[in-house]
A and B are shown apart, each in its own frame.
Chain A
Amino acid sequence: MPLGLLKYGLRRKYPAQHHFPRPQELKKTYDVVIIGGGGHGLATAFYLARDWGITDIAIIEKGYLAGGNTARNTAIIRSNYLTPEGVAFYDESVRLYQDLSNDFDYNIMYSERGHFTLAHTDAAMRTSRWRAEVNKHLGVNSELIYREDIARLCPSMNLSEDARYPILGALYHPPGSIARHDAVAWGYARGAAMRGVHIHTQTEVTGLLIENGAIKGVQTNRGTIHCNRAMQAVAGSTSLIAKMAGFKLPIRTIPLQACVSVPLKPFLDQIVVSGSLHVYISQSARGELVMGGSTDPYGVYSTRSTLDFKEGLMGHMLELFPFLDNVTLLRQWAGMADMTPDFSPIMGLTPVQNYYIDSGWGTWGFKATPVCGKRMAEMVATGKVPQLIAPFRLDRFVDFDQVGEKGAASVGH
């Protein structure tokens, strides 16, 4: 067997396939420049090329492909939000995700698990019921369940009343899923590159060319690119790029940390989230427990990890699954989340003409990758804001028209 595999690997008949074309020359002019080569930027390029026939696109990425928050999230996909705007938006995303492997002809390992948002207090039970009713009204599969149901669906969870915060019930969202986050980005990158989009990694934006209030080009460390339209999708660095464009944003860059355990025998089908305990956990296909908590208590432009975070997270983890007490951590990391005051994203027009923004994705960006890419592409192609993302405009803050999203992850409400 090993020899057969070696022979197969060395045979000329089966050459290794490259996912993406080799790096291209940076052209002097592109129709569209997308700043940020993460999931959102790649998805926008993909839908621009596939649905709108616009292929003269450059994606400019400072680091390597999808190495920012696309690589640093915990890969949870769900649509059980609280505001009607949020539910409609994220639900389209879930539906797009379900077909994504077929769209790409590339396996994103989409795995439907069911999603618990645990309630530990009467108040949380009321909010869960509220969320369930909003969800059901908008056609999203979501319901309030009680301890007996949790015991049946997830027998390994500690439902004892002796815990510091006993579990009373949960908001159960059966379509809640996880996917291979890197594969999502690679699928989009491959689909976009196949259609002629240029992806330039290791290319840093140093300034923007703006004439008469309209975007004319992007300056990079590899030279200046002229363009008709541009868009930024740069997560934690959002405010820094916006500063180059000359406007300020209601965003604070705050790290969000996460970690995985050593691989364990599969015991946890569902995704388990507790807002009160600041824990979310799921078990990956490899058996690793993927765990996250809340954002850091203050803003930092850094992806450092802290012991404080891990101590807090593990204390709460052990309340839910006490038998994990001698399991060791395998990896830890952090991402720089662009947090908005109302926990909703910012998508749409900016004070600069033909310059679009996709930001404010804080702790909820991965699950929105397909819908955001699709609708941003529609906006870049037509110049008009699609109805679905209109509530998430930048001006909502100065007009006092925020979309207060209490269903957001990793934040206290």
Chain B
Amino acid sequence: MKILNCPLNGPRNISEFVWGGEVRDMPDPADLSDRDWGAWVFLENNSAGIIREWWCHVPTSFWFIAERNTVTDEIIKTYPAGEAFKSRRDFAAKAKPSEGTR
């Protein structure tokens, strides 16, 4: 059994978690062409080495960040997403008025 340390629930079996992929900075969709948006959605770094990635503890729906070495499969540390994202970003304000009222 491989153990992942959830910042909310403590050490748990890794089968309780879902992998969410690498943490990446989201660009503002309003500033991007369709192709650039497609590139952001689909293209991956897929790095070999230590990366920051999203994990979710499924029973509690708690998303957090783990630093893991993708070559040795060693989990270095885990912490709540709030430590990486200090302020709220508001994308809606920039959207073009012609695109609807949403």
Binding site for B on A (CB under 8 A): 239-240, 248-253, 297-302, 304, 306-308, 341, 397-400
Contacts and interface: CB of A to CB of B under 8 A. Distances in A.
B45 A248 contact: yes
Contacts of A400: 34, 38
A339 B14 CA distance: 21
11 contacts: A248-B39, A250-B44, A251-B44, A253-B46, A253-B48, A297-B14, A297-B15, A300-B70, A304-B73, A398-B38, A400-B38
Contact of A306 (B2, B21, B71, B72): B2
Given A302-B72, A308-B2, A308-B15, A399 B35 contact: yes
Given A301-B71, A304-B73, A252 B2 contact: no
Interface string B20-36: 01000000000000111
Contacts of B44: 239, 248-252
A302 B46 contact: no
A137 to B, nearest CB: 30
Contact of A301 (B2, B18, B45, B48): B48
By secondary structure, the A interface counts as: loop
Contacts of B41: 397
Interface in B46-79: 46-48, 70-73
A400 B41 CA distance: 10
A250 B2 contact: no
By secondary structure, the B interface counts as: mixed
A252 B71 CA distance: 13
B1 interface: yes
Closest 3 CB pairs of A and B: A298-B19, A239-B46, A398-B38
Nearest to B1: A308
Contact of A302 (B42, B43, B71): B71
A299 B72 CA distance: 11
Contacts of A398: 34-36, 38-39, 42
